[in-house]
Copies of this chain bind each other. A is one copy, B any other.
């Protein structure tokens, strides 16, 4: 059941529409927005005015030569000094912090190593919040406004409540996350889902609006993008493939989640390194040197990964797979067995094969996705930010 709609909702919607249009084609003029959206020039001018005054949009000078004659247009873009988003990735063996502007450009990206396995969740969260506060302090000192913070967690995050239901690799169960920090709203989501969003929003595959993003880190996760939006599934747990059983025999290795034969135990970072007989950082060089053991290990992992992915691809009919995290680096060796497996197991592959692509954002994807998810809130409902800012200014005065 949806809610009633009044005049302000219409402005809300149109304001978001205008902003979205500028984001999609930076440098567009008011007249161009009007033409593209179907709104009147009057309306566009009014909405742009509001967005300018809130520093969400910025005029980037008169466009020198649009086409021929006529009054030159004033180009509009997302303001580089507009509200930024801070993403905090709570990884298994590191923290990452990323600050992005409205257009998704990275302003800062920092990582802080540190093993979080089995540590007290409260201490890990303290550490993450502390790092976030430091980052916010720096931003404030530089005059960069921040409108929200988002956490990326390698586990099942209940979006509605902000509770981590389970994060086997961290050893977390039912850990509530903070919902605000220094007065800023804090959201949280699964690390792979956010990484998928990052590839969708600012990745190197423009036009790709339907894909399954597979994140191979210490754990294995996936994010499902359908029709240009993250598909959360019934309870926000779609695409959780790390603990799908791929080796039902008792011989399967025991997983941190307690079960046996999980995908992670054969395709997670540590399993692959072990099977390849390679330490951290040694894997890719060995693969490039055509080391038989390493190549074989990656091929085996690829097969099993393909089995698990085929299920998801079949179930949702998603037409492409994007490899992220470590998998992006392993793409040349991982792709052939994966594509074989997908071709054999995916129904629609018979008439339209499922391409396997390498992600373009590397290890930064989760934190970037988180940071952007914070700015997306502003982009999706700029009017809320505009009025919020106005109110804040009023109370301060």
Contact = CB atoms under 8 A, between A and B. Distances in A.
A314 interface: yes
- The size bracket of the interface on A is 35 or more
Given A10-B6, A21-B1, A233 B318 contact: yes
A227 interface: yes
Contacts of A348: 237, 240
A349 to B, nearest CB: 11
Interface stretch (A12-20, A81-89, A113-121, A292-300): A12-20
Interface in A239-262: 239-241, 243-245, 248, 259
A226 B350 CA distance: 27
Nearest to A239: B315
A32 interface: no
Contacts of A315: 224, 238-239, 241, 311-312, 314-316
A7 B43 CA distance: 13
Q: How many copies does the complex hold?
A: 2
Interface string A1-31: 1111111011001100100110010000000
A14 to B, nearest CB: 6
Contact of A314 (B37, B244, B345): B244
Given A314-B241, A315-B311, A38 B234 contact: no
Interface of A: 1-7, 9-10, 13-14, 17, 20-21, 24, 37-39, 43, 210, 224, 226-227, 231, 233-241, 243-245, 248, 259, 310-312, 314-319, 344-345, 347-348, 350
8 contacts: A1-B21, A1-B24, A5-B13, A7-B10, A210-B235, A237-B317, A238-B315, A241-B315
